Chain A
Amino acid sequence: DIVMTQSPESLAVSLGERATINCKSGRSLLYSSNNKNYLAWYQQKPGQSPKLLIYWASSRESGVPDRFSGSGSGTDFTLTISSLQAEDVAIYYCQQYYSTPPWTFGQGTKVEI
């Protein structure tokens, strides 16, 4: 199974400041035939289901504010919230969807104000 490791476990950021979350995979998620990284980011607000934010490591899901961005390739990835808003308080998970199941998640990063 591909192990996904996120850091930090939690972070507190002032409103309007930048939040950065890291995700490292146990093997490369870059598929050479199409040059795509099979890495997604999800947001889970308190009491809600997870919501897809980013896929292919850097493609923003429709309707997701552009303050959210994803970057990285291979085994190292980053989710950046450029200017934290109050509604961004949530737990963020990275997830690999490389190849066949099992598909695995990082342990989550809690973002607070």
Chain B
Amino acid sequence: DVQLVESGGALVQPGGSLRLSCAASGFTVSDTYMSWLRQAPGKGLEWVSVIYAGGSTYYADFVKGRFTISRDNSKNTLSLQMNRLVIEDTAVYYCAKDRLSGGLFDYWGQGTLVTVSS
């Protein structure tokens, strides 16, 4: 069975950094697109970043230059390095598997909470 388990969420001060991880099982992360999405408290869903099977990466404008997505094929994990965090980055962050390699998210993790506050 496909399973995604995020970790790394924490309380961090504005301007700080944090690294999120997503452990995958039941499939190989390098065989498909993998995305990070987020949901601010009481708000809707936002796509954040994707890494393609071939390794190309894309980011939403609001995180471009601050966040970096990567994967570790040997560990079958996905990561999100978040730098220069701002209060508006406060959200539950989900990793998600892409079915079509084109933005259709068929499996989601349980999410990890990132709180940016002084």
Contact = CB atoms under 8 A, between A and B. Distances in A.
Interface of A: 38, 40, 42, 44, 49-52, 55, 61, 93, 95-98, 100-108
* Most chain A beta carbons < 10 A, residue from B94, B103, B106: B103
A104 B44 contact: no
Nearest to A62: B106
Interface string B102-113: 111110111100
A101 B108 contact: no
A97 B45 contact: no
A49 B110 contact: yes
A67 B91 CA distance: 32
A104 B48 CA distance: 10
A50 B58 contact: no
Given A49-B94, A49-B111, A105 B47 contact: yes
Interface of B: 35, 44-47, 50, 58, 60-61, 94, 99-100, 102-106, 108-111
Contact of B104 (A44, A97, A106, A107): A97
A52 B105 CA distance: 7
Contacts of B102: 38, 97
Contacts of A52: 104-106
18 contacts: A38-B102, A42-B105, A44-B45, A49-B111, A50-B105, A50-B108, A52-B105, A55-B99, A95-B103, A98-B103, A100-B58, A101-B50, A101-B103, A102-B47, A103-B103, A105-B44, A107-B44, A108-B45
Given A50-B108, A97-B104, A105 B58 contact: no
A95 B27 CA distance: 24
Contact of B106 (A61, A98, A104): A61
A40 B96 CA distance: 15
A112 to B, nearest CB: 16
Contacts of B109: 49
A10 to B, nearest CB: 13
B44 A93 contact: yes
A100 B44 CA distance: 21
